[in-house]
Amino acid sequence: MAHRPAYDALGRSSERTPLRLRFASRTRERSRSWISGYIVRLAWTDALVISVAVSAAQFGRFGTDSAMTPNGAAQVPATLVSLVLGVAWLLSLRAFQTLDRRVVGSGSQEYSRVVTACLALFGALAMVDLLFRLNIARGFIAIALPVGTAGLLICRWLWRQWLGHRRLRSENVERVLVVGSETSAVPMIERLMRQPGLGYRVVGICLPSRSGNRKTVMVDDTAVPVYGTFDDVCNSVLDSGATTVAVTSAEALGHDAMQALSWDLEGLDVEMMVSPGVTDVAGPRVMVRPVAGLPLLHIDKPRYDGANRFRKALVDRVGAAIILTLLAPVFIAVAFAIKLDSDGPIFYRATRVGLNNVPFSMWKFRSMIQDADAIKENLRALNEGSGVLFKMRDDPRVTRVGAFIRRYSLDELPQLLNVLGGAMSLVGPRPPLPEEVERYDGRVARRMLVKPGMTGLWQVSGRSDLSWEESVRLDLSYVENWSIMQDALILWKTVKAVVAKDGAY
């Protein structure tokens, strides 16, 4: 059991000198000031975007000389309506906690809260307008809502890009001290190190006990300093300059010690995070409920049904139809190029396994010579793929046109026909070959609980550069945490990944 320090009447530890505590608190306050500054910038940006959206709606609906133009049954001046709408919009964003420091800067929840706040405001406005017969001009609302929502999302994304670039230079980051056993701490440290854009820089670790004179723990060829044991967490925070403590072994630390640690960190202005012991479970599925004075983590069931029902199917088919229409000239150009470059058909149809292990024929533009599948066995020794995947960076079967269309993922565009037919989705796990599925174990087979997708987390996270284990982890994370907002973010990131040609060969 970890050491239990003595506390005064206010629950503050009496085992540290007040001077050092005050100095550390001031130092940490300066190091975390970027968070407050970033939130203030977001708040001012929100106000500016809403002002522009409401002004554009007013001028677009009533003209440039619309300041005193009466609006609605009460003949209220248009400017007053715009002012009330702008203030209500800002209050809605605050009510839905779109500036919560726990969600800004990473993940899809920030965008989801912004969209929810906008839709909730205009939904409430529509009901009030109907109930009280205010007859506010519909054209005014029709302009303000999409312009304002799109503007808010774009500005949040731009600020996030700015923040991500600073984080890659080790600026505006949280300095994390990890507290836990090596078994639980190392996986967390590995993930944080591999994604520096998340803004967490691991500065040290506290282990349950210190065997010998051990000073470091090796994680991905990086030496992480060992600052002490569970009894030394508070002093280790001061020594390492940490701004966040991440506990990965709460059960080993104990309930009393966890409570004592939270009190100490409160005095130091240090954030505390606790790993729940489950991986790749998204926030919307997690809820903390107090039971008998203990915070218990309630995890909802995975949302397999939601990923296969009407709403997603509608988005898939409408989206596929729109994309096919817009890219018709590209289809024609690629078809001509394939036909002129090499003998063989324009399209390649391969058997893939879809929802609930049902096979289907997947359409692609042909990027290889004829009979490429028959030659694959001769190249098996040169396979560069991981797990059950077959990949070659310089595959001799790929044609000249095939190399180009693969680089920009144009060979996958005919899969839109599969999406229209209902066999695939715009976003989902990678469509596997039958021989791959035969080698799946029970864990990997969960990928087949939703439709395969043209793109997915695997596509925007490295594509062919990913290891087999990482590809499976990303697919399973998508399957178990599906949401419309996550699909929208993946589609947006896919465009960036394709333009940058990340991991494509």
What are the angstrom distances between the C-alpha of 482 and each of 54, 279, 379? 33, 15, 37
* Residue with the larger pLDDT of the pair 466 and 48: 48
**The pLDDT of residue 298 is above 70:** no
84-132 tens-digit pLDDT: 889 999 999 999 999 998 888 877 789 989 999 999 998 888 887 777 6
Does 156 share its domain with 188?
A: no
Residue 8 confidence (pLDDT): 47
CB contact set of 154 (below 8 Å; sequence gap of 6+): none
Examine residue 441 and state whether it is found in any structural domain, yes or no. Answer: yes
Residue 408 binned pLDDT confidence (cut-offs 50, 70, 90) = confident
72: left (phi over 0), alpha (psi -120 to 50) or beta: left
CB 399 within 8 A of CB 346: no
pLDDT over 70 at 204, yes or no: yes
Q: E-strand spans in 311-433? A: 347-353, 359-365, 425-427
Contact, 481 vs 303, CB < 8 A?
Answer: yes
Confidence class for position 502, pLDDT limits 50, 70, 90: low
Partners of 291 in beta bridges = 294
Q: For residue 249, give the amino acid letter.
A: S
First to last CA, the chain: 53
Radius of gyration of the chain (CA): 27
Same domain for 267 and 366, yes or no, is no
Token pair listed for 130: 């109907």
Enumerate helices (H) and strands (E) in the chain, giving the number of each: 17, 14
The pLDDT confidence band at residue 419, using thresholds 50, 70 and 90, is very high
Structure tokens that stand for 249 in this block? 């072994």
For residue range 151-197, list pLDDT tens digits in order.
999 999 999 999 988 988 888 888 999 998 888 888 889 888 888 88
* Region of poorest pLDDT, from 7-21, 70-84, 296-310: 7-21
> What percent of the chain has pLDDT above 70?
76
288-297 confidence digits (pLDDT tens): 666 666 667 6
Residue 427 CA from chain centroid, whole number: 14
Give residue 302's pLDDT band: very low, low, confident or very high (50, 70, 90): low
Rounded CA gap, 210 and 227, in Å? Answer: 10
Task: Identify the pLDDT of residue 92.
Answer: 95
Could you give the 3-state DSSP secondary structure of residue 358?
coil
What are the distances in angstroms from CA 465 to CA 12, 188, 389, 468, 505? 50, 21, 12, 9, 9
Q: What is the pLDDT of residue 384?
A: 59
The secondary structure element, H or E, covering residue 250 is: helix 250-253
Predicted confidence band of residue 304 (pLDDT cuts 50, 70, 90)? low
Instruction: Tell whether 130 is covered by a domain.
Output: yes
Domain match, 48 and 64 both: yes
The mean pLDDT of 312-331, rounded to a whole number, is: 91
Which segment of 139-148, 335-344, 346-355 scores lowest on mean pLDDT? 139-148
Question: How much is the pLDDT for 59?
Answer: 83
Whether pLDDT at 21 is above 70: no
Question: Is there a single domain that holds both residue 317 and residue 463?
Answer: yes
For residues 152 and 118, what is the distance between their CA atoms, to the nearest angstrom?
A: 10
Number of domains composing the chain: 3
Using the predicted structure, report yes or no on whether residue 2 has a pLDDT greater than 50.
Answer: no
Last residue of a domain, one of 114, 138, 168: 168
Residue 142 lies in a domain: yes
Considering the domain boundaries, does residue 402 fall inside one?
Answer: yes
- Of 474, 487, 482, 358, the closest CA to residue 423 belongs to 358
**SS3 assignment, position 487:** helix
Stated as kind and residue range, the H or E segment containing 490 is: helix 484-500
Does residue 119 lie within any of the structural domains? yes
Q: Given the structure tokens 């280790």, which residue do they identify?
A: 236
List 299's β-bridge partners, or say none: 286
Domain with residue 258: its CATH number is 3.40.50.720
Contact 282, 483 (CB under 8 A): yes
DSSP lists the bridge partners of residue 175 as 201
Partners of 455 in beta bridges: 427
Is residue 13 pLDDT above 50, yes or no?
A: no
- 267 and 347 assigned to the same domain: no
Q: What is the pLDDT of residues 458-492, one digit of tens each?
A: 778 765 566 777 777 788 888 777 777 788 888 88
Is the pLDDT at 412 greater than 60, yes or no?
A: yes
Q: Give the integer Cα–Cα distance in Å for 180 and 231.
A: 12
258 and 310 both lie in a single domain: no
pLDDT tier at 1 (50, 70, 90 boundaries)? very low
Between the alpha carbon of residue 378 and those of residues 223, 373, 381, 382, 464, the distances in Å are 43, 10, 7, 9, 21
- Decide if 22 is inside a domain: no
Tell me, yes or no, whether 394 and 351 share the same domain: yes
In a domain, 2, yes or no: no
Tell me: the pLDDT tens digits for 214-262?
788 888 888 999 998 888 888 888 888 898 999 988 777 777 788 888 8
The residue whose two tokens read 């966040």 is: 244
User: Smallest Cα–Cα separation from 411: which of 318, 349, 493?
Assistant: 349
Residues 177 and 123 in one domain: no
Torsion angles phi and psi, residue 462, rounded to 5: 130, -20
Same domain? For 194 and 160 the reply is no
403 and 478 fall within a common domain: yes
Q: What is the mean pLDDT of the chain?
A: 80
In this prediction, residue 225 carries a pLDDT of 92
Rounded CA gap, 53 and 219, in Å?
49
Q: Is residue 370 part of a domain?
A: yes
What's the pLDDT at 328? Answer: 92
In this prediction, residues 36-51 reach a mean pLDDT of 94
Give pLDDT, residue 294: 65
| 389 shares its domain with 437 | yes
Range of the domain at 228: 173-275
Rounded distance between C-alpha atoms, residue 351 and residue 355, angstroms = 13
What was the pLDDT predicted at 17? 40
- Reference 453, options 408, 422, 496; nearest CA is 422
Residue 211 has pLDDT above 70, yes or no: no
Please tell me whether residues 211 and 148 are part of one structural domain: no
